[in-house]
Amino acid sequence: MAAAVSILVRISDIDPIAAKKFIFHAGYWIVFVSSALYFWLLLKYIWPKISRLISAKYRWGLLGAMIGAVFLQIHEPRQFKIMYDEYSITGVARNMHFLREASFPTTAHYISDRLYVTESQIDKRPFFFPFVLSLLHDLTGYRVGNAFILNALASLLLLLLVYVFGVKEGGVGLGLALQSLFLSLPLLAQCTTSGGYDVFNLCMIGMLWYTGIQYLSQSGAGGLNLFVLTSIHLAQTRYESILYTLVVIALVGYKWWRERVPSLTWLSVVCPLFLALPLLINKILMAIPGSLETKPGQDYFGFYYFPDNAKRALLYLFTLDFDSSNSFILSLFGSIALVFLIVAVFVRRRTFFASEKDTLLFALITIMIATSILTLCNFWGQWDDPVASRFSLPLCLAFILIIGRVVGELWRSRPVPYWLPALSFSLALAFSVPAAVRSFATHELISAQENAWFENVLSTRSKQRVLAIADSSIGLILYGYPAVSTGKARTVKWKLNECLKNRTYDEIIVLERFLSGTAKVAEVPFDGRALGSDFVREAIAEVRFRANTITRASRILRVEGIDSLPPDEYVKEDFAPNDERYIAHLYKALP
């Protein structure tokens, strides 16, 4: 019933304005309640088992996870990489921390020596990762770098869960081997050192497997609450992860069929109502033009995208180029193991599905492959694009699980030899280190490089006295700068002019990108990332991240054009120097 109500929210005719206000003000508190329930149940279940981590069996896995988490941090630069997704996610966490609002900042100004967010928007992504990040801000203080710390902790937990899976399939040796094999994936290091939620999403998939094992190992409804809440919070991590709720439905049905007695709890019945939030967000943003970043007339999703995207995905997965973020070894062994698993399912289907852990593993891998296929059916599903390669991570984790299951079966009658983890770690060093050191995929993300460079340019100036303008203002606000977006700046020319005349800010500095040709050819603004000729400016710094592009930071001197004149009602207002209303008058000119 609760799930049906959540689905009705998605298909019903709800006023978008009212829905946006609801999400804006209530989104944080809904995630707060669901997360409080989840963390309480998790702590209640995990706390008695903490002592196992220092036992002989798990001590090596914890050590391996710690070494692996540090290894992932060594070569890749820690910075925001996928623009402007990671800024938006971290911006939501910022507003949750400061304002308890489920939104990200788009415009901010210094007023009375404090940075105030004057405009915010609702993000299209679910809120669980930003909520956890805001919780880290609450506990340790606001720092932009907390996003990187959270991802580092998520990678530690992910590697520990991979080890636990390996131990259950083939002992300590297999657990260490799977950890090492996962480290051979340069993409994992790239995402671990970013501000995105992709590693966190993998961590939640691992938690779904772990809580599913606990649920199936108990009789009746034991462990069901934690299993259901894990799936709900996985659905609130990435939007396509809502499909993992099908794993819960399948496993609950399987257990009912096996025990011949349906068993539920009130909490498991009510919790699907929390799915209404991501479904409502999806409904609102699907109706907003441009929210999915498609061009006019372009479909976001279509099966006709699949053939070309699948071809490019195969090239990405199996390339041996050190400039690629893939792992050829993982893709090769994973594909071979997948063939073995498919044959085993068909040949031994009666005994295979008699096993609880195999049934869970089959359901989980099926959804992981299904979500990977769905990403290949959207317009931005080219995995060989450094921006989109992160969509392959669930499939890479599926390869790890499949390899673990097949190797565990091959060594079923004897322990996995310890030369296997040594070989896996040697492969990780041989293949992942050169790719991570070169960081080609990271350096290909030109928008990330530009914004990091622009922040360095601004760092020599007082944050209170400089207004920054960039294609996306979110990152600048995260670092404490008053900022507006380039698109907004074009629509409020007169306000920028007034800020210059009134010395509201000492400087207004803009980040722009131009395409350059030969010396005789004029520069061409790149994809709207320049203000236009009405803004008279002087260059203060520039850099080339590509041979044919110029990234430039410029100081605005004045704004010309008829629409740069203030409206009559603003001009007619006249105040004495000691009139307090004069301050409010100046605020009206803030862009």
- Average pLDDT over every residue of 127-133: 96
| DSSP helix/strand/coil, 484 | strand
- Average pLDDT over every residue of 3-10: 51
| DSSP helix/strand/coil, 307 | helix
Centroid of chain to Cα 303: 25
Of these ranges, 143-152, 265-274, 530-539, the one predicted with the greatest mean pLDDT is 143-152
Task: Give percent of the chain above pLDDT 70.
Answer: 89
Task: Report the candidate in 516, 519, 527, 524 with the shortest Cα–Cα distance to residue 550.
Answer: 516
- Kindly report, residue by residue over 512-552, the tens digit of the pLDDT: 888 876 555 556 776 666 787 888 889 999 998 888 888 89
Give the model's pLDDT for residue 204.
96
Q: Is the peptide bond before 239 cis (omega within 30 degrees of 0)?
A: no
Query: 10 Å Cβ neighbour count for 152?
Result: 17
- Kindly report, residue by residue over 506-520, the tens digit of the pLDDT: 999 999 888 876 555
Give the CA distances from residue 17 to residues 278, 283, 288, 488, in Å, rounded to whole numbers and listed in that order: 16, 12, 11, 21
H-helix segments, 439-492: 440-444, 446-458, 474-478, 486-491
What is the separation, in whole angstroms, between the first and last Cα of the chain?
Answer: 47
Of these ranges, 211-215, 499-503, 545-549, the one predicted with the greatest mean pLDDT is 211-215
- Average pLDDT over every residue of 81-103: 92
- Kindly report, residue by residue over 355-381, the tens digit of the pLDDT: 788 889 999 999 999 999 999 998 888
Give the model's pLDDT for residue 2.
47
Q: What pTM did the predictor assign?
A: 0.92
Task: Give percent of the chain above pLDDT 90.
Answer: 42
- pLDDT higher at 590 or 284: 590
Sign of CA dihedral 549, 552, 557, 558: positive
- Average pLDDT over every residue of 287-315: 79
Please report which confidence band the pLDDT of residue 106 belongs to, taking 50, 70 and 90 as the band edges. Answer: very high
Please report which confidence band the pLDDT of residue 284 belongs to, taking 50, 70 and 90 as the band edges. Answer: confident
- pLDDT higher at 62 or 282: 62
Return the minimum-mean-pLDDT range out of 16-25, 90-99, 200-209, 329-338: 16-25
Give the model's pLDDT for residue 66.
93
Which residues is 436 bridged to in the sheet?
A: none
Q: Is the pLDDT of residue 352 over 60?
A: yes
Residues 6+ apart with CB under 8 A from 256: 262, 263
Please report which confidence band the pLDDT of residue 569 belongs to, taking 50, 70 and 90 as the band edges. Answer: low
Of these ranges, 22-26, 130-134, 344-348, 435-439, the one predicted with the greatest mean pLDDT is 130-134
| Residue carrying structure tokens 């707060």 | 32
Q: Is the pLDDT of residue 463 over 80?
A: yes
Cα–Cα distance, 248 to 276 (Å, whole number): 17
Task: Tell me whether strands 104-111 and 114-121 are parallel, antiparallel or unpaired.
Answer: antiparallel
Cα–Cα distance, 379 to 84 (Å, whole number): 17
What tokens appear for 50 in the block? 């903490």
| DSSP helix/strand/coil, 151 | helix
| DSSP helix/strand/coil, 542 | strand
What tokens appear for 321 in the block? 């180029």
Cα–Cα distance, 273 to 277 (Å, whole number): 8
Q: Is the pLDDT of residue 485 over 70?
A: yes
Mean of the per-residue pLDDT values of the chain: 85
- Kindly report, residue by residue over 320-335, the tens digit of the pLDDT: 877 788 888 999 999 9
